Amino acid sequence: MSKENELIKVPHKILEETYKAGMEADEKDRSGTFYHVDQSTVYSKVNELFQGKIELMDTKAALQKYSWLEGYMWKLVDKNKDEFTRKVAEDWSGGYFMRIMPGAEITFPLQSCLLITRKNLEQRVHNIIIAEEGSKAHIITSCVQHSSVPDAAHLGVSEIYVKKGAMLNFTMIHQWSENTLVRPRSAAEIGDKATFVSNYVCMRPVKNVQMYPAAFCNGTDSTVSFNSILYGHTNSLLDIGSKAVLAGKGSKAEMVSRAIAREGSKMIIRGLIEGNNADCKGHLECRGLLLDEEAFLQSIPELIARKKGVEITHEAAVGKISEKEITYLMTRKLSRDQAVSLIIKGFMDVGILGLPEALNAEIKRIVEASAEAD
């Protein structure tokens, strides 16, 4: 019997919807799969090719198994940061615990899905990811609200540890609904010669997302990249930031965001790079496209230098879609709509996410489907 049949435990309708958010039903192409629906973990499995290389389970189960895990909880994210972190600290339903074992190279992406199917639910999860020394992995996590659910909230705390020499590429895809309140609270710690890539893709309308994940580059030659592709429409309110604190010698941060705003959506893109070591580098790039007069886009870059020698730069450009580009494409026999859609798709270039080819194609599919759905 093939393994993927076990996913039958997850209702078909849900699988279909999560597929649109990047979840692969065929587990052969994934190193592991995790599903947390509403308030409980319903599925958690490691592909047999990667047994012993990955640990994947509910965070609560992991806390039972490993006493040391307590030391990883609420270490990077302050329990008392705000009302949302306090709520999660008080009462939570689990979350994913992912551990990439030392030196393990996970060639297939590890996937997880946090799903809301119940009305008025406030989902509260606490996720822990540990990329052990010298490990290498790609994680794709999809957060989805079932389309029939009217109001809901998602409060998610994530603490990510990328240890010495490890490489972790973490892609989060949000597919909420027009009535979801979303408050992720994440932070990552990056060790010596370690690399953390944090990608965020939000394509569907959402009521209100506010997040400001932080990365602490404490290790020597540690690197962080934050990339985001944001498509705000139908009155969505997105306040998305990212913060990098460069403490390690030779540490580097790069932030790239592409934002499109239309139809009354309001987007604020923040970015903060703080250079605390004389030998560190950072660059922040934000590009925003406004498609109509009802939308609003604001870019707020902040650069802080605390030591001589810090080298942090930024470039930001927000504005209307270029008529010159539209016209140029129209001279190539494209209609105005085709030209606009091609520019939008190109603008939301998934190439900035640094994904392996297969995953790249999938995220591209999601982005293009959303761009075309208007």
Partner 1 sequence: MNILEVENLSVKVEGKLILKDVTFSLKSHQSHILFGPNGSGKTTLLSALMGLPSYEVVSGKISFMGVDITDKSVEERAKLGMVISFQNPPEITGVKLGDLLKLCLGKSPIARFNEEEQKLIEAFRLTKFLDRDINVGFSGGERKRSEILQLIFLKPKLLLLDEPDSGVDVESLRLIADEIQRYVERSGSSALIITHKGDILDHIKAKYGCVLLAGKFHCFTHPTRIYEEIKKVGYEECVACRVRKTEGWKFEQGK
Q: Which residues bind partner 1 (CB under 8 A)?
A: 287, 322-325, 327-336, 342-343, 345-349, 351
- Token pair belonging to 155: 């409060």
Nearer to partner 1, 143 or 339 (CB): 339
Cα gap 34→139, rounded to integer Å: 11
Cα gap 296→290, rounded to integer Å: 7
Instruction: List for the chain the helix, strand, coil content (%; round to 5).
Output: 20, 45, 35
Least separation in angstroms between CB 309 and partner 1:
30
Least separation in angstroms between CB 93 and partner 1:
39
Nearer to partner 1, 73 or 342 (CB): 342
Nearer to partner 1, 5 or 331 (CB): 331
Least separation in angstroms between CB 298 and partner 1:
21
Helices (H), the chain: 12-19, 59-65, 83-90, 323-330, 336-347, 357-372
Nearer to partner 1, 3 or 365 (CB): 365
Nearer to partner 1, 148 or 328 (CB): 328
Cα gap 280→254, rounded to integer Å: 11
- Token pair belonging to 156: 């998610």
Nearer to partner 1, 119 or 365 (CB): 365
- Token pair belonging to 238: 């997105």
Cα gap 191→180, rounded to integer Å: 35
Cα gap 32→187, rounded to integer Å: 23
Least separation in angstroms between CB 139 and partner 1:
25
Least separation in angstroms between CB 342 and partner 1:
6
Least separation in angstroms between CB 58 and partner 1:
39
- Token pair belonging to 49: 């090719």
